[in-house]
Structure 1
């Protein structure tokens, strides 16, 4: 009964319902290749992006080069924003990055640089993060905020400006593991010494029968990985 309940729930909830819909269209139009092939391809693509093994296949090249360092070194900790809602709450990736930065600050006493503007929203991420850090007990004098940056390139640009102002030559770079490859390549071009400190790992590596069921959370993580690959290509061409 438990298995049946799970199977039905995964089938009727997105993305399962859309996979079933694509398959239904494919069956009805199997004699019309112009419809059959795209419908079948849509079902297969959506299914693969929604299961854990394929999601890990996408994430592994992004996350595997980076491990949490046992010894940290740097004049300051920089935390890159990962998104905020217009209601004033941080999205999950931003919150995980912020908590990691906060724990590093408590451990090392290094100042924190927060980087993240309002790229497509109305509230700068760094403003929300700064308010949270102060609620956690971090003194305002230990927090520097870049409220202008809209992407990773601008993160590096504006953080470099803050570093020049406060005399910082090396950074502990905190961001999600899936984003570290792109972030590190951009920040290293500033001439600052950068130590990557990844967090928010999404690779799992262990599976069971339920890992083969399509899930929205897995589809979301796969989409993040695909977006990261697109970003890597774009940055390699233009920066």
Structure 2
């Protein structure tokens, strides 16, 4: 069933991706014009053109992704001791790494920078990487763990501290496969992209894993820095990630893979310094 879920999620995203939806709509509208169905084509091409123009000129994706990125903040006071630092895969660029034979960082490369910082802060804590290929076409490449190890080695992290898990294809499998590696009574720092943190925390709680979120890789801008700037690629980065994550939260909740639809920070203990 996990494989069916994985494949269906990838096929579904091919259609539901905002960028793909715009292109598919333009193609469909053009075909209707070709077959002289002018009235029907207008109902598709006009709304699609307006939506494309809006995404082109303004970062509308910020409205979608920012509530996710604000959901969990970095700890105001860091824990005195942790049993491990968990970094979820996604910061590396698997295709380019395989293409050029070198370890390449992707959009989520901040995950590695933050993990190295935390590893220096907690020199006795193991660094636990969890992540395989999220691509249908790049399964069983056998390189995900070695790419992560190469990146950390280049950053000066002692390889003896690394624990590598590279069979996970999605976030649910991350935490399922981490169960044999982690302790139920342990305390772990969790490093992943800020927009991805709510779903990650919800799944961790579903598996009974106690994690302290350490979000990185923010994609949205504060309202003061949102302008008409005609930067389609930058706008799509936030729109695609935010839309995908809201879909992921909903599907994971409906299928019982997360503890809540939109997980929230735990209430503060009365004795907390906060």
Q: 1:161 aligns with which of 180, 183, 187?
A: 180
Matched, 1:84 2:84: no
Partner of 2:66: 60
Partner of 2:83: 75
What do you get for the CA RMSD once the two structures are aligned?
Answer: 2.8
Partner of 1:117: 132
Contact 2:58-2:227 at 8 Å conserved across structures: no
- The whole-number CA distance in structure 1 between the counterparts of 2:248 and 2:40 is 32
Partner of 1:188: 205
Q: 2:165 aligns with which of 136, 140, 146?
A: 146
Write out per-residue CA displacement over residues 39-88 of structure 1, whole angstroms, 9 at most, x where no aligned residue: 01111222333444411101112111122223333311100111523342
What SS does the corresponding residue of 1:49 show, helix, strand or coil? Answer: helix
- The whole-number CA distance in structure 1 between the counterparts of 2:107 and 2:180 is 25
TM-score for the superposition, normalised by structure 2: 0.70
TM-score for the superposition, normalised by structure 1: 0.79
- The whole-number CA distance in structure 2 between the counterparts of 1:37 and 1:91 is 42
Matched, 1:227 2:244: yes
Partner of 1:10: none
Contact 1:58-1:226 at 8 Å conserved across structures: yes
Alpha-carbon distance change, 61 to 106 in structure 1, aligned in 2, over 3 angstroms? same
Would you identify which runs of 4 or more consecutive aligned residues in structure 1 move more than 6 Å? none
- The whole-number CA distance in structure 2 between the counterparts of 1:181 and 1:51 is 29
Q: Which runs of 5+ in 1 are unaligned?
A: 1-13
Matched, 1:35 2:45: no
- The whole-number CA distance in structure 2 between the counterparts of 1:168 and 1:90 is 35
Alpha-carbon distance change, 124 to 185 in structure 1, aligned in 2, over 3 angstroms? farther
Alpha-carbon distance change, 101 to 52 in structure 1, aligned in 2, over 3 angstroms? farther
Bigger helix share: 1
